[in-house]
Homo-oligomer: A and B are copies of this chain.
Amino acid sequence: VSETTTIGQYLIDRLLALGARHVFGVPGDFVLAYYKHLTDSELRVVNMADEQGAGFAADAYARVNGIGAVCITYGVGSLKVINTTAQAHAEKSPVVVICGGPGVRERTRERKLHHKVGTFDSQLKIFKEITVASAILDDAETAQAEIDRVLFACLRERLPVYLELPRDMVNATFTVRPVHAPKETSDPETLREALEEIARMVAGAKKPVILAGEELHRFEVHDLLPGLLERSGIPCASTTLSKSVIDEAHPLYLGVYEGALGNDAVRHYVETSDCVLVLGANLSDVTLGIDTAQLETARMVHATSDHLNVRRARYERIVFKELILALEPALGTRPRPTIPNPHRPEPWIANADAQITVARLFQCLNWHLTPDTVVITDVGDCFFAATDLFVEHSGFVACAYYLSLGFSVPGSLGLMMARPHLRPLVITGDGAFQMTGMELTSILRTGDRLAPIVVILDNEGYGTERPMIDGEFNDIHPWRYAEIPAVLGAGKGWVVRTEADLDRALAGAEANLDSYSIIDVKIARGDISAGLERLTSHLGKRARG
């Protein structure tokens, strides 16, 4: 039996089939009819105050859910999510951008339509630079093939994609053909040969180590990691971008590796290893500790979804997930080595009148992490300090490579939709908060009584830049963040100057289960985390040329 459907409905059905349950967005006239259609579907539409917020929320959602979607209008909407889509691309987050566009019948000439810039192809060309696949769904005959092609590319590469739906095509009908998920397989001989090479390298190594990257999580094979470590006896480190890819209490977990910018014990272990298995980590300047990492190609296996290199040999046609699934035999077994583990948090006892410091703030937050917490940090010292948190049960989400300020508050809404049983601990700087923090309004707008705890490191400016080059441009106008509930008509706020204040604020926030809590932590200028101090001394040298 053949089934007839519409382009709009088919897209909804496919998103649901692939695991999306929510769409983040802002309505606008070119997308309005489809927006209504979405709200009437099984997908839940989560409305945001600004498209930038919707893009960030969809990205965070996609990272933990496996696929996410943002739906916006033409031009004024879609061009506001360029940066968030670029972030998703840089950090491999499978976000489907759905843009409602002018009707096909409106595109016959290069008309000057509102919300339009350049030609009717301009947006597509822009999105081609930051997505892995894209299409304008302007033909009912090809719509299914195009939607399938684009969505499969999204999942195959875990990268963002762009679908433009002309408003007069939403209800265009076609007959559904069976969906054939393209079967992605490695070339078996290449895979076998590569595994043999890896086995040989590992067998000959005295001190192998795994650098476990974000792609293990993105391709949903991170659950294999504990078993892999335990059977092989090989320990692992994570990167700043992959932190929480493994429970940090695991006895074979070393900590976060980031060259000279991270923990010295982790650095020493990794850099003295004679066989580093980099699994699913994209090695960026940040991951490599601003190029301070000492990792020699001659003792490295580097596997990502893009390529497999065993030392200098490159293997093509290997599917990353298959490689990871087949890796266990290649690693053999060996006795568990003695390794440095991350420090468990020390019990927090407030020194009541002591002024709060970055170090003590994070010691306290660390003590407060529970199995129900998911940590999301913004960019700045909030991130650098947070890399030292001991993330035992909970997740840790950060845009640790692309480093775009303003991700955390809207991102937390994405996390709460994807993982409603987890409570976000949002850690942000004041500069990042002033960009997108008022998306707290969207958290209230859901009507779900969501209760994230937002901690603001309030040092009156761009604390990450001060140690590089300082000037008045790093001084932002101070807000009374704890007064935001007066504007939003809901939420609770605290100002923290001392350790006793912090105790009171966290106790209050933890008891506030009905709305967001906002904790304004007054940090002295110049009080920065050890990690940031190391980083900015490196970056500052570069910025000064």
- Contacting A543 at CB < 8 Å: which of B29, B283, B479? B29
Contact of A80 among B28, B47, B52 (CB under 8 A): B52
Also in contact, A403 and B76, with CB within 8 A (given A36-B471, A50-B434) = yes
Stretch at the interface among A111-119, A307-315, A361-369: A111-119
A13 within 8 Å of B (CB atoms): no
Given contacts A82-B126, A468-B32, A539-B29, whether A435 and B114 have CB atoms under 8 Å apart is no
Q: Among B87, B117, B474, which residue has its beta carbon within 8 angstroms of that of A89?
A: B117
A274-290 CB mask vs B (1 if < 8 Å, else 0) is 00000000111111000
Complex CA–CA separation, A468 to B442 (angstroms): 23
Residue in B75, B442, B465 whose beta carbon sits within 8 Å of that of A86 in the complex: B75
CA distance A377 to B90 in the complex (A): 36
A12 at the interface (CB under 8 A from B): no
- A404 interface residue (CB < 8 Å to B): yes
Task: Tell me how far the C-beta of A121 lies from the nearest C-beta in chain B, rounded to whole angstroms.
Answer: 9
Bound-complex Cα distance A381 to B438 (A): 23
Asked if A27 and B86 make an inter-chain contact with CB atoms under 8 angstroms apart, the answer reads no
Interface residues of A in 103-142 (CB under 8 A from B): 103, 111-118, 122, 125-126, 129-130
A285 touches B114 (CB 8 A): yes
User: How far is it, in angstroms, between the C-alpha of A545 and the C-alpha of B168 when the chains are bound?
Assistant: 6
Residues of chain A in range 297-343 having any CB-CB distance to chain B below 8 Å: none
What residues of chain B lie closer than 8 Å to A442, measured between beta carbons? Answer: 477
Which partner residue on chain B sits nearest A171 by CB separation? B545
Q: Indicate if the CB atoms of A76 and B483 lie closer than 8 Å.
A: no
Check B474–A114 contact: CB distance below 8 A.
no
Check A477/B473 contact, CB under 8 A, given A402-B75, A435-B49, A438-B434: no
Q: Which of A32-59 contact B (CB under 8 A)?
A: 32-33, 35-36, 39, 45, 47, 49-50, 52
* A486 beta carbon closer than 8 Å to chain B: yes
A480 contacts partner chain B, Cβ-Cβ < 8 Å: yes
Q: At the interface, yes or no: A444 with Cβ under 8 Å from chain B?
A: yes
Interface: A83 (CB within 8 A):
yes
Interface residues of A in 72-102 (CB under 8 A from B): 75-76, 79-80, 82-83, 86-87, 89-90
A402 interface neighbour in B114, B125, B434, Cβ under 8 Å: B114
- A344 in contact (CB, < 8 A): no
Residues of B within 8 A of A473 (CB): 27, 35-36, 39, 45, 47
Interface string of A428-439 (1 = CB under 8 A from B): 000000111010
Interface size on A, residues (CB 8 A): 89
**Which B residues are in CB contact (< 8 Å) with A542?**
29, 103, 167
Chain B residue numbers with a CB within 8 Å of A483 are 483, 486-487
A:340-380 near B, CB below 8 Å: none
Are B489 and A487 touching (Cβ within 8 A)? no
A410: CB under 8 A from chain B? no
Residues of B contacting A167 in the complex (Cβ-Cβ under 8 angstroms): 542-543, 545
A79 to B127, CA, bound (A): 12
> Which residues of B have CB within 8 Å of A75?
83, 86, 90, 402, 404
A438 CB → nearest B CB, Å: 6
Give chain A interface residues in 436-477, CB to chain B under 8 Å. Answer: 436, 438, 441-442, 444-445, 462, 464-465, 468-469, 471-477
Q: Closest B-chain residue to A100, C-beta based?
A: B543
Identify A283's interface contact among B112, B125, B286, B476, CB under 8 A.
B112
How far is B168's CA from A543's CA once the two chains are assembled, in angstroms?
8
A117 touches B489 (CB 8 A): no
Within 8 Å of chain B (Cβ to Cβ): is A203?
A: no
Nearest neighbor of A27 in chain B, beta-carbon distance: B473
Is A145 an interface position by the 8 A CB rule?
Answer: no
Nearest CB on B from A166, distance (A): 11
Report the separation of the CA atoms of residues A32 and B465 in the bound assembly, to the nearest whole angstrom.
8
Contacts of A118 in B (CB 8 A): 86, 89, 129-130
Distance in angstroms from A117 CB to nearest chain B CB is 4
Complex: A484 Cα to B472 Cα, angstroms: 24
User: Does chain B have a CB within 8 A of A406?
Assistant: yes
Bound CA span A481–B486, Å? 9
Decide: A114 near B401, CB < 8 A? Known: A167-B545, A480-B487.
yes
Judged by a CB distance under 8 angstroms, whether A478 is at the interface is: yes
State whether the Cβ of A62 lies closer than 8 Å to any Cβ in chain B.
no
Please tell me if A405 contacts chain B, counting CB pairs below 8 Å: yes
Taking the nearest CB of chain B, how far is it from the CB of A307, in angstroms? 13
Kindly list chain B residues whose C-beta atoms are within 8 Å of the C-beta of A283. 112
12 A-B pairs whose Cβ atoms sit less than 8 Å apart in the complex: A29-B543, A30-B543, A50-B435, A79-B83, A112-B285, A113-B285, A114-B403, A116-B402, A122-B129, A125-B129, A441-B477, A487-B487
- 16 more CB-based (< 8 A) A-B contacts, given A27-B462, A111-B284, A112-B287: A28-B465, A29-B542, A36-B473, A39-B472, A49-B435, A50-B435, A52-B80, A80-B82, A86-B118, A90-B116, A113-B284, A113-B285, A114-B285, A114-B403, A438-B438, A483-B487
